[in-house]
């Protein structure tokens, strides 16, 4: 027997649009065998997963872990541990840190840092700006997962608003271009009018009227038009409105799409009816919109207009979030409970389990060409999550692993719980605890 083998027996696997009973033999970092019944030497450690579901580890294509420079909000170690507790085994992190990840030197430094501190598998998007085209052209596409552009301002001052630069970027990178779309002029005009009305006492309920549907639609449609003109491979982040869905197509398999879209858990869970109770804790860019928008997003996800489920995990401290509207930053921590929220949505009849796995595990791997992850397949890395989908639990402060110590889901009871997480063949989360030794690896790409 190889000392590095382990056997997971009697679980119900959800994978590639199927739900079936099977055993999994893990050897070293990878899945060695998947079969109805696997018999092994008596001395191989066996985990009995009877009554549990097993899915591939989630790949979150949009997180902000704040390191370097903003570590009073979060850091790679704390947030990647929270990710493991939430069944997220790999993450793509955003460039709006301080300094920004907009030079190859900063990008290498972030990787170096993560190699020492990450607890989940990692890769870092490279940020485009109005003046770093030469850096973008020189990127190693075997190592960089994608380019991130802020086409609307948000945390970190990374707006790219020079049309000529944008066209040059779209024309000159083979990488996926992931975009934050909100039209800056529309937002500025709306904000000015709202300040004229309320002074500095703007109610949070005005947020989706300032960062409104029109701002999203205008910016998304311009980005899509530019991608069509230049042939760029575009991925539009965090779609928040029903209107934008008309910009996407569902008649092609993901691998053949030139333009894809992501939806985030907060836009699927909350609506403008929640602003009264949650206040600035659910202030996000793009804003949480109406209940009709939310229902349309679920439909768009189920009908494959939307391709990827993610979090846009973006922690800020409670002190920062509790300020008045104009000062409270947008964003909130999500990685620990995105999957339980999705499992609860399954129980509410909003989505099938197979669809959750397709959008949160398979599709990010396909979209970013992530090597040997995102599926339960022989030869692939053994990143998987054991779920008790019937177990109910309330989100309470004491259980939060985020550095910022709060969650927009506090007080909510979810049905569906992450029991154990296996990363690169090792149990890294069990009995409510993250293992102190990291098993994380840098993601690699099959391009
Ligand atoms: O709400 C948001 N917060 N949206 C973003 O695009 C950025 C993020 C952050 O970094 O705080």
**What's the CA-to-centroid distance between 22 and ligand 1, angstroms?**
40
Establish how many alpha carbons lie within 13 A of residue 333's alpha carbon, considering only the half-sphere containing its beta carbon. 30
Query: For residue 359, is it left (φ>0), alpha (ψ between -120 and 50) or beta?
Result: alpha
**Which mutation among 71, 96, 286 tests ligand 1's pocket best, with the greatest number of atoms within 8 A of CB?**
96
**What's the CA-to-centroid distance between 192 and ligand 1, angstroms?**
21
Q: In terms of domains, do 45 and 190 share one?
A: no
Q: In terms of domains, do 423 and 319 share one?
A: no
The Cα 248–Cα 235 span in angstroms is 11
Q: In terms of domains, do 402 and 323 share one?
A: no
284 lines ligand 1 (CB under 6 A): yes
Q: In terms of domains, do 200 and 303 share one?
A: yes
- pLDDT tens for 47-64 read 999 999 999 999 999 999
74 lines ligand 1 (CB under 6 A): no
- pLDDT tens for 333-353 read 999 999 999 999 999 999 999
Identify whether 441 is part of a domain. Answer: no
Taking the model in full, what pTM does it have? 0.98
Give yes or no for a contact between 147 and 176, defined as CB atoms under 8 angstroms apart.
yes
311 lines ligand 1 (CB under 6 A): no
CA proximity to 58, closest of 334, 349, 267: 334
The Cα 327–Cα 330 span in angstroms is 9
Q: In terms of domains, do 46 and 156 share one?
A: no
Query: What is the residue range of 357's domain?
Result: 58-367
Residue 157: is its pLDDT beyond 90?
A: no
Count up the domains in the chain and report the number. 2
- Here the CATH number for the domain that contains residue 430 is 2.30.40.10
240 lines ligand 1 (CB under 6 A): no
- pLDDT tens for 405-436 read 999 999 999 999 999 999 999 999 999 999 99
Q: In terms of domains, do 167 and 152 share one?
A: yes
Q: In terms of domains, do 232 and 177 share one?
A: yes
User: 194: part of which helix (H) or strand (E)?
Assistant: helix 184-198
Identify whether 267 is part of a domain. Answer: yes
Residue 3 banded pLDDT, cuts 50, 70, 90: low
- Residue 92 φ/ψ, nearest 5 degrees: -110, 120
- Residue 116 φ/ψ, nearest 5 degrees: -100, -25
The Cα 324–Cα 203 span in angstroms is 9
Query: Which residues does residue 21 pair with via DSSP β-bridges, in sequence order?
Result: 12
**What's the CA-to-centroid distance between 94 and ligand 1, angstroms?**
10
Q: What's the distance, CA 130 to chain centroid?
A: 25
Identify whether 372 is part of a domain. Answer: no
Query: For residue 427, is it left (φ>0), alpha (ψ between -120 and 50) or beta?
Result: beta
Residue nearest (by alpha carbon) to ligand 1 atom 4: 285
282 lines ligand 1 (CB under 6 A): no
Boundary (domain end) residue, out of 341, 367, 393: 367
Boundary (domain end) residue, out of 315, 344, 367: 367
Q: In terms of domains, do 149 and 297 share one?
A: yes
Structure confidence at residue 55 (pLDDT): 99
Identify whether 442 is part of a domain. Answer: no
Residue 1 banded pLDDT, cuts 50, 70, 90: very low
Cα three-residue angle 101-29-55, rounded to 5 degrees: 80
364 lines ligand 1 (CB under 6 A): no
90, with CB counted inside 10 A (0-12, 13-18, 19+), is buried
Q: In terms of domains, do 357 and 385 share one?
A: no
Q: Please compute Rg for the chain using Cα positions.
A: 21
- Here the CATH number for the domain that contains residue 170 is 3.20.20.140
Query: Which residues does residue 11 pair with via DSSP β-bridges, in sequence order?
Result: 22
């Amino acid at each position: 027997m190889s000392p590095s083998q382990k056997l997971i027996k009697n679980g119900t696997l959800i994978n590639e649009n199927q739900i079936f009973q099977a055993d999994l033999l893990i050897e070293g970092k990878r899945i060695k065998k998947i079969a109805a019944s696997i018999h092994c030497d008596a001395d191989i450690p066996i985990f009995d997963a009877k009554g549990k579901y097993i899915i591939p580890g989630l790949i979150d294509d949009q997180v902000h872990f704040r390191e370097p420079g903003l570590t009073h909000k979060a850091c790679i170690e704390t947030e990647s541990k929270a990710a493991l507790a939430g069944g997220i085994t790999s993450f793509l992190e955003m460039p709006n840190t301080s300094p920004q990840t907009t030079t190859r030197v900063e990008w290498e430094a972030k990787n170096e840092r993560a190699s020492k501190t990450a607890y989940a598998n990692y890769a870092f998007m490279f940020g485009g700006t109005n003046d770093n085209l030469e850096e973008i052209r020189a990127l190693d596409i075997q190592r960089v997962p994608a380019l991130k552009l802020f086409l609307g301002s948000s945390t970190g001052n990374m707006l790219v608003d020079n049309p000529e630069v944008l066209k040059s970027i779209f024309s000159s990178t083979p990488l996926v271009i992931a975009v934050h779309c909100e039209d800056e002029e529309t937002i500025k005009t709306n904000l000015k009018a709202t300040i004229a009305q309320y002074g500095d006492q703007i109610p949070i309920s005005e947020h989706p009227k300032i960062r409104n549907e029109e701002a999203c639609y205008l910016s998304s449609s311009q980005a899509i038009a530019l991608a069509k003109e230049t042939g760029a491979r575009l991925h539009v982040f965090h779609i928040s409105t029903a209107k934008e869905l008309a910009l996407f197509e569902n008649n092609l398999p993901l691998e053949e799409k030139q333009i894809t879209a992501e939806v985030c858990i907060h836009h699927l869970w909350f609506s403008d009816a929640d602003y009264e109770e949650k206040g600035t804790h659910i202030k996000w860019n793009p804003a949480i919109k109406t209940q009709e928008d939310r229902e349309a997003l679920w439909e768009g996800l189920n009908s494959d207009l939307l391709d990827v489920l993610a979090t846009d995990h973006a922690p800020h401290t409670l002190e920062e979030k509790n300020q008045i509207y104009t000062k409270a930053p947008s964003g909130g921590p999500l990685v620990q409970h995105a999957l339980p929220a999705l499992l609860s949505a399954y129980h509410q009849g909003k989505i099938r389990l197979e669809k959750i796995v397709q959008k949160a595990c398979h599709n990010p791997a396909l979209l970013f060409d992530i090597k040997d992850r995102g599926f339960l397949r022989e030869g692939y890395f053994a990143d998987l999550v054991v779920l008790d989908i019937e177990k109910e639990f309330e989100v309470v402060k004491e259980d939060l692993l985020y550095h910022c110590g709060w969650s927009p889901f506090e007080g909510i009871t979810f049905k569906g719980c992450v029991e154990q997480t296996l990363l690169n063949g090792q149990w890294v989360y069990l009995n409510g605890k993250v293992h102190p030794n990291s098993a994380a690896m840098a993601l690699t790409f099959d391009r």
